[in-house]
Structure 1
Amino acid sequence: MISDLARAFIDAARSLLHPKMLAIVLWPMVLSLVLWGVLAWFFWDNWISLLGHWLQPAQEFLSQHDFVWLANGMTVVLLVLLVMPLALTTALFIAAVMVMPMMVRHVASRDYPELERRHGGTFAGSIWNALIAIGVFCGLWLLSLPFWLLAGLGALFSLLLTAYLNQRLFRYDALAEHASHEEFQLILEQSAAQLYLLGMLLALLHFVPVINLLSPVYTGLVYIHYGLGQLKRLRA
């Protein structure tokens, strides 16, 4: 199992350095940042006002105990902490739905040319899978917000939820073109733990500044190499 995971990371890094991949590697994150930048431009005051209303009891408590500076900055800090995961989720969605088909064709033609395409997935299936993944992620993420008040637990839940999002978003598109429906289900059954472990390791990259600009496309490449590698082994 470990060798399969390591091979997927190494092969994905090699694919990332190809000129075709370098040409698209920043698209998902840049498009996401532009989208959320535009939304923030129009709705920042509304968001601040809404959060300030929710945080008013905490701000009053801090002000009474000579933490006025913390009370004043709390709303902005919390809003930034809320927007950052949403921007990352948007970038992952763009990578999974818009960029993955091109990445799959590129990787398959260069590294897995012998794999027959059995088209077990569809574009509509990709959209539906992505909507479910993001819906579950956002719902659980909102439920986890109170845990940010407890040291370390908020970050832990964020890591676990991002790991879920990674594997749920990219496993379908990595195999949709080449695996049959039955092969896809069999790989999910056999590799569920490995797929989630991949998601956990890749989630760590999402929180590293600068590297996280590349991480959506790199995440897709890792799942493509792992998924097609497992499919090749299954058919052999």
Structure 2
Amino acid sequence: MTLLLDSFWRAVAYCLHPRVIALSFLPLVLMVALSFGLGYFYWDPAVEWVRAMLDSSSLLTSLWGWLERFGASNLKTVVAPLIVIFAVTPVLVLVSLLVVAALMTPALTSLVAERRFAALERKRGGSFIGSMLRSLGVTLLAIIALVVSMPLWLIPPLILVLPPLIWGWLTYRVMSFDALADHASANERRELLRRHRGWLLGIGVLTGYLGAAPSIVWASGALFAAAFVILVPVAIWIYTLVFAFSSLWFAHYCLDALQRLRQEEYATTMQGAPSTMVLEPIEPPTAPSPERLALPDDPPPPAGR
């Protein structure tokens, strides 16, 4: 818990760093270009297709008539854009995660390492290609889990649990690998993920709930058509900032845990290693012999007369 809270407040403080703020706008440029490109070519056809699907349903036709009697006739024009928005939002989240993992996470991990763990050895247990393949693999699994679990979202409590849990698992798998790829060996990474799996998953779930914050901005359907140019960049920047914060949180937590693991291994090695110093026995001093007591310069005794 101490490691979790310490890494949390450090990640919050690092979000105010000028380099982090500048990096958060780099994926925003790409995401805004992608959003406007899709909106320019596919927004009207998508809304018209959804509206046609709604009009073709006899059950919804009776619902629209019932709403018109209560003065809510404009609701029909709002529902179709909202459905398109809610359908596109998970795709933007996934693309944003991949962009942040590819562009921001290595830079933010290097920033944390330079400022806090400059003496930590880099064993380079992961590669950029391995990180991208891993990110694509777990993202595909997350998409499958989202699609399979969609019928359960109709149950009110589960819609508040299942999507953040899936986002949390995805974030945990991607961010923890990227945070340890440069500094930890493969064995150290596996050991850390085994020891701290619960805490890392908790960080992922919390950041998953934070990732739902931009949906509040997007949910203002009545204002969306008029404020499209403002709401889309704001929502995407919030997404990228949340992912940047999660990258910093994982970087602080994982590198600190790696440093403690190496300190434990060093302490264990020093305790188990035998002493290499050999003390030779000291011989007691011996009494000098009578011959050595005679002085060589003594004069010879006098000769007899």
Query: TM (normalized to structure 1)?
Result: 0.89
Deviation at 1:115, TM superposition (A): 0.9
| Aligned residue in 2 for 1:45 | 44
| Aligned residue in 1 for 2:138 | 133
Deviation at 1:104, TM superposition (A): 1.6
Secondary structure in 1 matching 2:94: helix
Q: Does the Cα contact within 8 Å between 2:192 and 2:257 map onto a contact in 1?
A: yes
| 2:223 is aligned with 1:218 | no
Segments of structure 1 that go 5 or more residues without pairing to the other structure are none
Secondary structure in 2 matching 1:127: helix
Compare the two structures and name the one with the higher helix fraction: 1
Matches of 1:191 and 1:156 in 2, distance apart?
22
The residue type paired with residue 129 of structure 1 is R
| Aligned residue in 2 for 1:201 | 206
Residues 41 and 217 of structure 1, relative CA distance in 2, 3 Å threshold? same
| Aligned residue in 2 for 1:117 | 122
Q: Does the Cα contact within 8 Å between 1:62 and 1:71 map onto a contact in 2?
A: no
Deviation at 1:53, TM superposition (A): 5.7
Q: Does the Cα contact within 8 Å between 1:118 and 1:180 map onto a contact in 2?
A: yes
Matches of 1:11 and 1:27 in 2, distance apart?
22
Matches of 1:50 and 1:140 in 2, distance apart?
26
Matches of 1:139 and 1:46 in 2, distance apart?
26
Deviation at 1:189, TM superposition (A): 0.8
Larger radius of gyration: 2
Matches of 1:34 and 1:146 in 2, distance apart?
32
Greater Cα offset, 110-119 or 158-167: 158-167
Q: Does the Cα contact within 8 Å between 1:134 and 1:165 map onto a contact in 2?
A: yes
| Aligned residue in 1 for 2:261 | 234
Matches of 2:245 and 2:121 in 1, distance apart?
24
| 2:43 is aligned with 1:16 | no
Paired positions, count: 235
Q: 1:185 aligns with which of 181, 190, 208?
A: 190
Q: Does the Cα contact within 8 Å between 2:96 and 2:239 map onto a contact in 1?
A: no
Residues 29 and 143 of structure 1, relative CA distance in 2, 3 Å threshold? farther
Deviation at 1:34, TM superposition (A): 2.8
Matches of 1:101 and 1:145 in 2, distance apart?
33
Greater Cα offset, 71-80 or 88-97: 71-80
Deviation at 1:159, TM superposition (A): 1.3
Query: TM (normalized to structure 2)?
Result: 0.70
Q: Does the Cα contact within 8 Å between 1:28 and 1:92 map onto a contact in 2?
A: no
Segments of structure 2 that go 5 or more residues without pairing to the other structure are 215-233, 264-305
| Aligned residue in 1 for 2:61 | 60
Q: Does the Cα contact within 8 Å between 1:25 and 1:214 map onto a contact in 2?
A: yes
| Aligned residue in 1 for 2:289 | none
Deviation at 1:177, TM superposition (A): 0.3
Q: Does the Cα contact within 8 Å between 1:122 and 1:176 map onto a contact in 2?
A: yes
Q: Does the Cα contact within 8 Å between 2:10 and 2:249 map onto a contact in 1?
A: yes
Matches of 2:13 and 2:256 in 1, distance apart?
15
| 2:155 is aligned with 1:154 | no
Matches of 1:216 and 1:29 in 2, distance apart?
12
Q: Does the Cα contact within 8 Å between 2:123 and 2:185 map onto a contact in 1?
A: yes
Q: Does the Cα contact within 8 Å between 1:144 and 1:154 map onto a contact in 2?
A: no
Deviation at 1:192, TM superposition (A): 0.8
| Aligned residue in 1 for 2:87 | 82
Greater Cα offset, 26-35 or 14-23: 26-35
